[in-house]
Amino acid sequence: MKVVMIGSGYVGLVSGACFADFGHEVVCVDKDLSKIDALKSNVMPIYEPGLESLVRGNAQRGVLSFTTDLAEAVSGADAVFIAVGTPSRRGDGHADLSYVYAAAEEIARAVDDRTVIVTKSTVPVGTGDEVERICREAAPGKTLAVVSNPEFLREGAAIDDFKRPDRIVVGSEEEWARDVMREVYRPLYLNESPILFTSRRSSELIKYAANAFLATKITFINEIADLCEKVGGNVQDVARGIGLDQRIGPKFLNAGPGYGGSCFPKDTLALMKTAQDHESPVRIVEAVVNANDLRKRAMGRKVIAALGGEARGKRVALLGLTFKPNTDDMRDAPSIAVVQALLDAGAEVAAYDPEGMAEAARLLPDVRMAAGPYEAAAGAHALVMMTEWDAFRALDLGRMADVMAGDALVDLRNVYNPEDVARAGLSYTSVGR
C-alpha cells in the first residue's frame, strides 16, 4: 500500500519508517525544506535509538522517501496520516489545532477519490468531526473517510512500541475505511497485535485518558515518596509492594522529580480544558497537573536543602537534562525548573547530558555545559542525578568525591545505593527513602 505521513517530526518519522519496514511504500512530507534535505542525507531531526539505521535501510530499499511537495506525495495514496504538532495554545492551554486543520484542507484538495485521511496527531475529542467538515468543503465531490488512529509511542523505545504494540486503536464508523486500516496494519495483526475499532470520538479520548492515567500514577507515587520521607518509609519498597498487585502493575511507579516531555504535560492540560468546556471537569487530572508543577520547583528546594539551606555562591552539577533517558527531548523537562530554582537562589550550575545539551543550551543559556560527568562535577558543592541515563548508573563515586568541592549527592532518580554513596565519602539525599 502507499502510505503518506504529513509531518516528519517524532511521530511521523518513526511511524513512516516503521510502515516502510513492513513493506509499504511510504512518503514523509514536511514543509521544512532543511529538515527534508537533512533526512535525504540520513541526518535525523531527533535522537531515537535505532531510528537512523531504520531510515537509512528503508530509504536505500526505495520504500521510504521525503519531500516538501504534498500534492505529488498523496497522489495514489491509500492512507494519508496527519502527524503534525498540536502544542498547547498560548493563553488558554487548549491544543493548537491550526496545523491539523491546514493539513486536512490541503490533503483533501490533493488526494484521489476514496482515500482514508488518518489523524495520528493527538487531538481533542471532536477534532475528527471538524476535519471531516473541512475535507467536505475543500473537496465536495470526493468520498473521503476521516479516521482517528492515536499513537502510543514512548520516546526512547518508539520503534519497539510501534512494532510490538499493546493495541492499535482505530476510530471510524465506515467499514471501507476500517478495511484500509486493517490492511495498513496487517503485518502487526498477523503478529497478533489487537486492533480495537471504536467510534472516532472514543478513539480520540482513549489517547488522552491513557496519558492522564499514567501521569496520575507518576504523581501518586511521588506524593507517596514525600510521605515516606516524613514517616520513615521506603518508597521503592512501597512501589514494589503495590505494583505486584496485578490490578495496579509496576510500571510508572518510580518516584522522581515529576513528569515532563512532549505528551503528558500538554495532553493532561488539553484534557482538562476539553472537560471544562463540556462542563464535566476532571478533578483528579486537575490535581495531578497542579501537583506535578509544584513538584518540579520543590526538587530545586531539595537540592538547596542538601547544600545546607544556602545556595548563593555555590556550584551545582546536574547529570542529565532531558526529561527521560534515550531522547534529546527537553520539552517540559523537570531539569528546567530545578535549574531555574538554583539560579534564582544564586547558585552556579554546570551540567552534562549524553544527547540533550544542544537543545538545553538554548533553553538554559546560564548553565555551563560540560564535556562529561566528571567535568561537570569538578568543583561542585552538590551533584544532582537528574536523568537516569545508563551512562550514569555506574559512576566512580570515589572519583566524584575527589573532584567535587563539596560532598552532597542529590539522587532524584534513586539510582544509587545509600551504602555505596556513604563509602565514597559523599552525603546522600534521595527521593522517598
Asked if 25 and 2 count as a contact pair (C-beta separation under 8 A), the reply is yes
Scanning the structure block, which residue is given the C-alpha cell 513492513? 22
C-alpha distances (whole Å) from 195 to each of 130, 178, 192, 248, 346 are 25, 10, 9, 24, 54
Q: 28: which strand partners? A: 5, 66
d(CA 184, CA 400): 52
SS3 sequence of the chain = CEEEEECCCHHHHHHHHHHHHCCCEEEEECCCHHHHHHHHCCCCCCCCCCHHHHHHHHHHHCCEEEECCHHHHHCCCCEEEECCCCCECCCCCCECCHHHHHHHHHHHHHCCCCEEEEECCCCCCCHHHHHHHHHHHHCCCCCEEEEECCCCCCCCCHHHHHHCCCCEEEECCCHHHHHHHHHHCHHHHHCCCCEEEECHHHHHHHHHHHHHHHHHHHHHHHHHHHHHHHHCCCHHHHHHHHHCCCCCCCCCCCCCCCCCCCCHHHHHHHHHHHHHHCCCCCHHHHHHHHHHHHHHHHHHHHHHHHCCCCCCCCEEEEECCCCCCCCCCCCCCHHHHHHHHHHHCCCEEEEECCCCHHHHHHHCCCCEECCCHHHHHCCCCEEEECCCCHHHCCCCHHHHHHHCCCCEEEECCCCCCHHHHHHCCCEEECCCC
Q: What is the pLDDT of residue 91?
A: 74
Scanning the structure block, which residue is given the C-alpha cell 522529580? 257
Q: What is the pLDDT of residue 90?
A: 80
Q: What is the amino acid identity at position 173?
A: E
d(CA 201, CA 129): 9
Is 263 considered catalytic here? Answer: yes
d(CA 401, CA 408): 9
C-alpha cell at 361: 543550551
2-198: which CATH topology? Rossmann fold (3.40.50)
The pLDDT tens digits along the chain (433 residues) read 999 999 999 999 999 999 999 999 999 999 999 999 999 999 999 999 999 999 999 999 999 999 999 999 999 999 999 999 999 888 788 899 999 999 999 999 999 999 999 999 999 999 999 999 999 999 999 999 999 999 999 999 999 999 999 999 999 999 999 999 999 999 998 878 999 999 999 999 999 999 999 999 999 999 999 999 999 999 999 999 999 999 999 999 999 999 999 899 999 999 999 999 999 999 999 999 999 999 999 999 999 999 999 999 999 999 999 999 999 999 999 999 999 999 999 999 999 999 999 999 999 999 999 999 999 999 999 999 999 999 999 999 999 999 999 999 999 999 999 999 999 999 999 999 9
CA-wise closest residue to 409 among 299, 254, 303, 297: 303
d(CA 4, CA 10): 15
Q: What is the pLDDT of residue 175?
A: 97
C-alpha distances (whole Å) from 4 to each of 13, 72, 184, 282, 361 are 11, 11, 11, 36, 34
Domain 201-433 CATH assignment equals 2.60.40.3620 = no
Asked if 114 and 74 count as a contact pair (C-beta separation under 8 A), the reply is no
365 by Cβ neighbours in 10 Å (0-12 / 13-18 / 19+) ranks as: exposed
Q: Which one from 28, 135, 228, 263 is the annotated catalytic residue?
A: 263
Domain spans, the chain: 2-198, 201-433
Max CA separation in the chain (angstroms):
75
CA-wise closest residue to 132 among 98, 152, 167, 105: 105
